[in-house]
Amino acid sequence: MIRVAFYDAKEYDRPSFERFGRLHDMQFHFLETKLNEDTADLAKGCDVVCVFVNDTVNAAVIDKLYALGIRLIALRSAGYNNVDVRAAFGKIHVVHVPAYSPYAVAEHAMALLLTSVRRIHKAYNRTRDFNFALNGLVGFDLHGKTVGVIGTGKIGRIFIDICRGFGMHVIAYDRFPAGDSDIEYVSLNELFARSDIISLHCPLTEETRHLIGTEAIGKMKKGVVIVNTSRGGLIDAEALLQGIKARKVGAACLDVYEEEADIFFEDRSGHILNDDLLSRLISMPNVIVTSHQAFLTEEALSNIAETTVSNILSYFDNDGICDNELCYRCGNIERCKKERKERCF
Ligand code: NAI
């Protein structure tokens, strides 16, 4: 029996993990709390720790888990910016779920974009109140507009296909452009200058933190629509707010927010929100916020559970080699997948 401490468990996580766990004699201990230095001890007696995007897996937490005998951290997410992988090297192996439904995220990005540019959120509220007036609901066609996609990996490429289906002109920037594609790659500056809509699909790294800040917004077209379904830290939220107040940014669609960790995923209605910046952004008529829900489809939840369980089994069954293990030395997981013939340590 493999025992897994499952942090930040939500109601919607349980059915799929219980289903796949039962098939493989794996027991999940669902903990509502997030993982951090104060809660790491709750993993005592377990073999594996399973975490999500807002759990804290820094060096101190890793040391605590290591002392408890934990040798595997299974991320049930693609992004791993919340894990200090270097601190984990030599102590705890880390696996993730590289793809569970890139369609879910790309489709959510388009859903947000359409909602925003066709004012669906406003119309929905109006008609519920039997207000059938159209004033203030004028949108614009996506057809013929230029969309700038930053990050052309799994999700970015699907989003590009969706945009092309709408008759949009697509330009893109990627630090590592795909060699085998017909994507029109441009520099970041050119993307900022030419795009009517900018959608972020790159990971959060030291290099990409605040990729969209005051300077970048200054280079953009007036009225630009910014879509972020990737990671909150890609955008300097204060700079975004100023861009909106200056009428430079036409609209923002945000599924993620830099300071979301203690806010998103919970029902905060009835509470006073302490985050003034988020409150101000939400109060803007041209900002739509969803709380990190882009991944949340039945298909994605099932795939996440299936891959996480399989990642855990690989660690225990298959000489410990798992294609989805993060690399602590080179940081290039894709290359490692091809080259790895043995464990990283
Ligand atoms: P991926 O790894 O397939 O693609 C990421 C792309 O970004 C790659 O082409 C890579 O070359 C590029 N990139 C790396 N550094 C860059 C840089 N400095 N500038 C520009 N591009 C850069 O990842 P995937 O699956 O497409 O996911 C993208 C992001 O979406 C993830 O990193 C994650 O943060 C986010 N995500 C959000 C979810 C949500 O529910 N809102 C769910 C899943 C992922």
- At 71, is the secondary structure helix, strand, or coil? coil
338 belongs to a structural domain = no
Q: Does the Cβ of 337 fall within 6 Å of ligand 1? A: no
Range of the domain at 181: 102-289
331 belongs to a structural domain = no
Do 141 and 69 share a structural domain? Answer: no
Do 106 and 85 share a structural domain? Answer: no
Do 28 and 118 share a structural domain? Answer: no
Which of 53, 13, 34 lies closest to 256 in space, CA to CA?
A: 53
Q: Does the Cβ of 303 fall within 6 Å of ligand 1? A: no
Q: Check residue 330 and give its pLDDT.
A: 65
Do 223 and 262 meet the contact criterion of CB atoms below 8 Å apart?
no
Do 329 and 118 meet the contact criterion of CB atoms below 8 Å apart?
no
Determine which one of 76, 119, 292, 325 is catalytic.
292
Do 283 and 170 share a structural domain? Answer: yes
Do 254 and 160 share a structural domain? Answer: yes
Q: Check residue 32 and give its pLDDT.
A: 96
Cα 193 from Cα 191, distance rounded (Å): 5
Do 114 and 93 share a structural domain? Answer: no
* Sequence-distant (≥ 6) Cβ neighbours of residue 40 within 8 angstroms: 61, 64, 65, 68
Q: Check residue 344 and give its pLDDT.
A: 72
Do 134 and 23 share a structural domain? Answer: no
292 is catalytic: yes
Do 204 and 108 share a structural domain? Answer: yes
Ligand 1 midpoint to CA 291 (Å)? 18
86 is catalytic: no
Ligand 1 midpoint to CA 228 (Å)? 11
Q: Check residue 337 and give its pLDDT.
A: 64
283 belongs to a structural domain = yes
Q: Does the Cβ of 156 fall within 6 Å of ligand 1? A: yes
Q: State the number of CA atoms in the 13 A half-sphere of 250 facing the CB.
A: 17
54 belongs to a structural domain = yes
- At 294, is the secondary structure helix, strand, or coil? coil
First to last CA, the chain: 24
Ligand 1 midpoint to CA 203 (Å)? 4
Q: Does the Cβ of 211 fall within 6 Å of ligand 1? A: no
Do 128 and 167 share a structural domain? Answer: yes
* Sequence-distant (≥ 6) Cβ neighbours of residue 156 within 8 angstroms: 106, 149, 150, 172, 174, 199, 201, 202
Closest-lying ligand 1 atom to the alpha carbon of residue 230: 35
CATH number at residue 62: 3.40.50.720
Do 166 and 93 share a structural domain? Answer: no
Nearest CA to ligand 1 atom 3: 153
Q: Does the Cβ of 78 fall within 6 Å of ligand 1? A: yes
322 belongs to a structural domain = no
- The pTM of this model reads 0.91
Q: What is the mean pLDDT of each run of 10 residues along the chain (345 residues)?
A: 96 96 95 97 98 96 98 94 91 93 97 98 97 98 98 97 98 94 97 98 95 98 98 98 98 96 91 96 97 96 97 85 80 65 73
Cα 144 from Cα 163, distance rounded (Å): 10
Do 112 and 58 share a structural domain? Answer: no
**Which residue, of 289, 307, 328, is where some domain finishes?**
289
74 belongs to a structural domain = yes
* Sequence-distant (≥ 6) Cβ neighbours of residue 304 within 8 angstroms: 16, 76, 77, 97, 100, 295
Tally of domains within the chain: 2
Concatenating the DSSP letter of every residue in 162-225 gives HHHHTT-EEEEE-SS--TTS---B--HHHHHHH-SEEEE-S---TTTTTSBSHHHHHHSPTTEE
342 belongs to a structural domain = no
Do 178 and 213 share a structural domain? Answer: yes
115 belongs to a structural domain = yes
